[in-house]
């Protein structure tokens, strides 16, 4: 009996020891988890505090019949309406000014419907966004402007040029959507758009994805692995700034959802009479090259500046060439407009 009892005690001790030996590992993992959570939270809170401070109380808010439109403006020279892309706002438009326009232009940078301080009216359309641009220009006393648009900002820019031809001296569109395509690649592009809209629903998911998986996120933005792998340090910094400037995403979510659901203008581009420059990369996987081909074929006299590589981040990849082409197009067209 004593041997049996002793055996049971030994087994119990072994069992207890086998369980307790994992306690230090479990405690270490728990401490690591807590420390990581504290560090991540501190980084997130700090980044969000700076992001909200960067966009809050900076722009002017103008009331108009459908709600409010937020904008900034600056510079001197030929007036240019700068229309931001998906996930943007006036701050992204200002980046577009820095990247493409530079000095020598009086730029106006509104936030489109549903972005930052601009309202999101119910059942709104691209046409009404174009009307809002006209209202803003009236307020600023600008009768005629060049229009520079990026990506999903192209839809309202195209329609502003179609609806208000007398107010547009030229139109420059970089990587813009123009018409939906039936080709197989469109399904993948649409899926990217839906994924981007989903990530844009909350500040924290967007921050985590773009902080921890930045290069993969560039793929969602329409740059394939080859483009991303070939980016220089300066180009990575430029694209990184665009990604960071989408923070905070919560006050942009309504606009991003609208962008992803609204129909592109399609055949209405045929009514555009302003001198038009279309800039696009052949390997863009978000706004397919079909958009550029359609726009050039549909808009009378439109010019095409295409690049074999650069994806949807071609503005950063081919910055110098695009800068020269867009500035020349704006200045040349403004001069011709004044000579009439």
- How high is the mean pLDDT of the chain? 90
For 163-191, write each residue's pLDDT tens digit.
999 999 999 999 999 998 877 778 877 88
pLDDT greater than 70 at residue 146: yes
pLDDT greater than 90 at residue 283: yes
Q: Is the preceding omega at residue 248 within 30 degrees of 0, hence cis?
A: yes
pLDDT greater than 90 at residue 294: yes
For 198-252, write each residue's pLDDT tens digit.
888 899 999 999 999 999 999 888 899 999 999 999 999 999 999 999 999 999 9
Least confident range of 2-6, 38-42, 84-88: 2-6
Segment 147-170 shows an average pLDDT of 98
pLDDT greater than 80 at residue 272: yes
Contacts of 129 (CB under 8 A, 6+ apart): 112, 113, 156, 159, 160
Instruction: Please give the share of the chain, as a percent, with pLDDT higher than 90.
Output: 77
Q: For the structural domain made of 60-339, what CATH number should be given?
A: 3.40.50.1820
CA 235 centroid distance within chain: 16
Segment 301-314 shows an average pLDDT of 97
What is the C-alpha separation between 1 and 327, in angstroms, rounded? Answer: 98
Instruction: Please give the share of the chain, as a percent, with pLDDT higher than 70.
Output: 88
Structure tokens at 265: 């203008």
Contact at 8 Å (CB) between 152 and 85? yes
Q: Looking at residue 125, what DSSP letter applies?
A: -
Q: What is the pLDDT of residue 32?
A: 59
Residue 172 backbone dihedrals phi, psi, to 5 degrees = -125, 125
Least confident range of 34-43, 92-101, 184-193, 235-244: 34-43
Orientation angle between helical segments 126-140 and 154-163, nearest 10 degrees: 70
Contacts of 251 (CB under 8 A, 6+ apart): 55, 115, 116, 117
Edge to edge, what strands does the sheet with 105-110 contain? 60-64, 67-74, 105-110, 78-83, 145-150, 168-174, 276-281, 303-307
Residue showing tokens 């420390």: 35
Give start and end residues of each alpha helix (H) in the chain.
Answer: 2-20, 23-55, 90-96, 126-140, 154-163, 184-199, 203-212, 214-220, 225-229, 233-244, 253-261, 290-298, 314-317, 319-339
């Amino acid at each position: 009996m004593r041997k049996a009892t002793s055996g049971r005690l030994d087994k119990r001790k072994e069992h207890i020891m086998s369980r307790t030996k994992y306690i230090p590992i479990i405690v270490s993992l728990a401490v690591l988890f807590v420390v990581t959570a504290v560090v991540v939270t501190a980084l997130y809170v700090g980044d969000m505090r700076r992001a909200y401070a960067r966009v809050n109380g900076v722009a002017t808010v103008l009331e108009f019949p459908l709600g409010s439109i937020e904008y900034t403006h600056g510079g001197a020279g030929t007036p240019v309406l700068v229309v931001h892309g998906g996930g943007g706002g006036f701050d992204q438009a200002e980046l577009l000014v820095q990247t493409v326009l530079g000095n020598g232009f009086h730029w106006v940078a509104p936030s489109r419907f549903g972005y930052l301080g601009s309202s999101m009216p119910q059942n709104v359309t691209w046409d009404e966004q174009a009307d809002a641009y006209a209202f803003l220009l009236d307020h600023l006393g600008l009768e005629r402007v060049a229009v520079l648009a990026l990506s999903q900002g192209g839809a309202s820019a195209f329609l502003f040029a179609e609806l208000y031809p007398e107010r547009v001296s030229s139109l420059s569109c970089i990587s813009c959507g123009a018409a939906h395509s039936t080709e197989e690649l469109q399904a993948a592009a649409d899926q990217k758009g839906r994924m981007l809209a989903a990530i844009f629903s909350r500040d924290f998911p967007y921050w985590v994805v773009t902080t921890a998986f930045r290069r993969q996120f560039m793929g969602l933005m329409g740059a394939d692995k080859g483009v991303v792998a070939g980016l220089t340090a300066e180009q990575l910094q430029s694209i990184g700034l665009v990604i960071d400037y989408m923070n905070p995403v919560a006050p942009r979510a309504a606009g991003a959802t609208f962008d992803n659901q609204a129909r592109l203008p399609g055949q209405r581009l045929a009514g555009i009479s302003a001198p038009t420059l279309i800039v696009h990369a052949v390997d863009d996987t978000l706004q397919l090259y079909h958009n550029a081909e359609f726009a050039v074929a549909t808009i009378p006299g439109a010019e095409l500046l295409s690049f074999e590589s650069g994806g949807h981040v071609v503005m950063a990849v081919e910055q110098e060439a695009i800068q020269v082409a867009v500035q020349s197009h704006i200045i040349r067209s403004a001069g011709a407009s004044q000579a009439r």
